[in-house]
Structure 1
Amino acid sequence: MAGAVRLSVARPGDRGVIVDVRAESHPGDHGVGVDELQRRLLEFGFVEGARVEVLHEGAIWRDPIAVRLDEMRIGLRRRDAEDVWVLLDPK
């Protein structure tokens, strides 16, 4: 996973490939258990090898973010995006 970053730190216009989805417990939590969050992310299509692009981020604390995941557009809380690891394309 060398060079991979959390999707939560990517900025609008950043694109890359998902290399890992690893739900973890964070301060402030997600409101759901770790297993449930992992299941939700996988059901949305956040899987290894999927292409992702950050389209937009909210005005307040840059939250939530809008991403293109393959051909879908999805809104995602930044704290949930912390569990998705992406290898960004070179700029």
Structure 2
Amino acid sequence: MRIRDMEVGQSARIVRFGEGDRHYRQKLIQMGMTRGVVFSLIRKAPLGDPLEVNCGGMLLSLRKGESDGVEVEVCQV
């Protein structure tokens, strides 16, 4: 599942990173979005881009296209 497919308020765990832009992937990792981390989708902009997530107490704004390289699984927290 991709982050864009989540519902607002859902929590998910990062399963893996795809073949996307490795520089952007490194940026996500530096911000704490590593494999196994649980985060929540806080908000979607009216046209679905960007997406706002809460990861470890930090609010991050992610571009939809770039976040598509992150595979997640929805979980109950």
Which band: TM-score by shorter chain?
0.7 to 0.9
Structure ID, larger Rg: 1
Q: Deviations over 1:33-82 (max 9, x none)?
A: x22122112111111111111000101x2111100112211011111111
Q: Which has the higher strand share?
A: 2
1:46 partner letter: M
Residue 16 of structure 2 corresponds to: 20
Q: TM-score, normalised by structure 2?
A: 0.85
Residue 26 of structure 2 corresponds to: 39
SS in 1 for 2:29: helix
Does the alignment pair 1:53 with 2:40? Answer: yes
Number of residues of Structure 1 aligned to a counterpart in Structure 2 = 76
Q: Unaligned regions of 5+ residues in structure 2, if any?
A: none
Q: Unaligned regions of 5+ residues in structure 1, if any?
A: 25-33
CA distance in 1, matches of 2:12, 2:25: 20
The CA RMSD over aligned residues, in Å, is 1.4
Residue 89 of structure 1 corresponds to: 75
Q: TM-score, normalised by structure 1?
A: 0.74
* Aligned counterpart in structure 1 of residue 55 of structure 2, from 69, 73, 76: 69
